[in-house]
Amino acid sequence: MKVHVCLLENRSQIARMKMIYIRNWKSNFAIFIILALIGVTYVVTFRDNWWFALPKKHLFPQPLALQSSSNGDNTNAPTRPDKQTVTVQEKKEFPDTYYPLPDIRTYIPNFYTKLSPKDAKKYLNNETTMVYLHHHKAGGKYMIKCLTSAHDKMPFPTGFAHLTLKDWEKWRNSRTPNTNDPIELLVCGGMAFGACEFAQSHHPCSYITILREPYDRMYSLYNHCHKSPGDWICSRWDISELAITDLAIYTGSHFFHQVLTNPSICGGNKSDEAYAFSATTQQWKPHGKSCSTFRTMAYLKYYLNKSQKEELLEYVIENLENWFTVIGMQDEIVLSLQMIERAYQRPVYQVCKNSSKRNPPPPEQVRNKDEKIKELKSDPRVYDALYYDIRIYEAARKIFNRQISKFNNSVDINTGV
């Protein structure tokens, strides 16, 4: 009898232990589910931080939802929506409710103001693709010469691509984003922004650019068009009959349009052809069907109101330090080359330091330049046309000054000097 009682007591204890274990298991599982949900929420909320995503795809943007405006004069455009509420829509015809932002997700933030030394050493090396966005008439040909010369001195064979208006679509169409097709380690050109999206998912890719004061750049463009009227950026008009103020109005904020040019707005419909103004006929006329900054300018002109364009401008300014690993200045080209050289550990300055010195212009040329720039600044239509580039240049100049401070107080990440 005692034996049976003991057995019953043991069975009872075992049953109680099983119940406790089951309750503990359910409790632990519930805790696990809660922690998992917290983790997912954290990822969704903070996934856009660049340090969370490197070296994969980094930061925004999705197509920017903008308030519909049937007549283009709605000035009550909303602020940029939260990323979780952005509407993604395939482009079939020109939408009048948002501007389809270019899909820029792969980049390395500013070396001097954003990256830690550890991340800089990890992501900026001989295998990092450098994409130079050529802002026309901002020392671009000189920069490409320096970059290609430094590129040729690298210790192993690498590829090079020059993405101009003429050949960038062919380059783009020959590739599929994020495949195993390797991207060149040096990409240059006025249509190069967005090239990093075609890099392998594990391959670090970055952008640099050189900017120029907009009025000064316009004077340079005016002289260039008189010397080379057949250049793509000049051939839309009879330059011999075009005043410098008209050229500024017709070309607009070039850099603003460069970073916003999106292949999705390039189609064969009559409504979305790029328009150029003819000084001879005093009419707007279509200019081809290829993508260009002029098509972007036409899109913004006819489909977005002033408030919406201001919203896009703020979006660009907010991302300058994220998109560009180094931002240089044409009037500080030597220092800009030195900054690029330190960031990438490539002899960009060394190969060009002897050719960076130029003789000062003759007094007559200086007087002519001063007069032309005064003419530009006195015309409010010119300010309106260059407004977006003026704002971008001012913001970029502040970034450049912060780069100078970090450059003067930093050491080489590889040599420690």
In-domain check, residue 5: no
Asked whether residue 36 is domain-assigned, the answer is no
Residue corresponding to tokens 């007549």: 71
In a domain, 44, yes or no: no
Measured CA to CA, the distance from residue 157 to residue 344 in angstroms comes to 17
Take residue 117 and report the two structure tokens written for it.
């030394």
Whether 264 is covered by a domain: the verdict is: yes
Provide the angle, in degrees to the nearest 10, between the axes of the packed helices 333-344 and 140-152: 30
**370 or 30: which leads in pLDDT:** 370
Number of domains in the chain: 1
- Pair type for strands 275-278 and 283-286: antiparallel
| CB within 8 Å of 234: residues ≥ 6 apart | 221, 224, 225, 228
d(CA 266, CA 207): 23
Q: Which domain holds residue 340?
A: 53-409
> How far does CA 22 lie from the centroid of its chain?
55
Residue recorded with tokens 């380690």: 185
* The pLDDT of residue 339: 97
- Contacts within 8 Å (CB) and 24+ apart, 154-158: 154/126, 154/185, 154/346, 155/126, 156/126, 158/184, 158/185, 158/186
Q: Please count the residues of the chain.
A: 417
* Lowest-confidence region among 16-25, 276-285, 386-395: 276-285
Asked, for residue 417, whether it belongs to a domain, the answer is no
Model confidence at 19, pLDDT cuts 50, 70, 90, reads low
Contact between residue 147 and residue 355 where contact means Cβ atoms under 8 Å apart: no
141-155, 204-218, 258-272: segment of lowest average pLDDT? 258-272
The structure's pTM equals 0.74
Helix, strand, coil: what percent of the chain each, to 5?
50, 10, 40
Q: What is the mean pLDDT of the chain?
A: 75
Structural domain contains residue 39: no
Residue 397 is predicted with a pLDDT of 98
Average pLDDT of the residues in 102-130: 90
Residue 105 belongs to domain with CATH number? 3.40.50
Residue 38 in any domain: the answer is: no
What is the pLDDT at residue 179? 56
Residue 41 lies in a domain: no
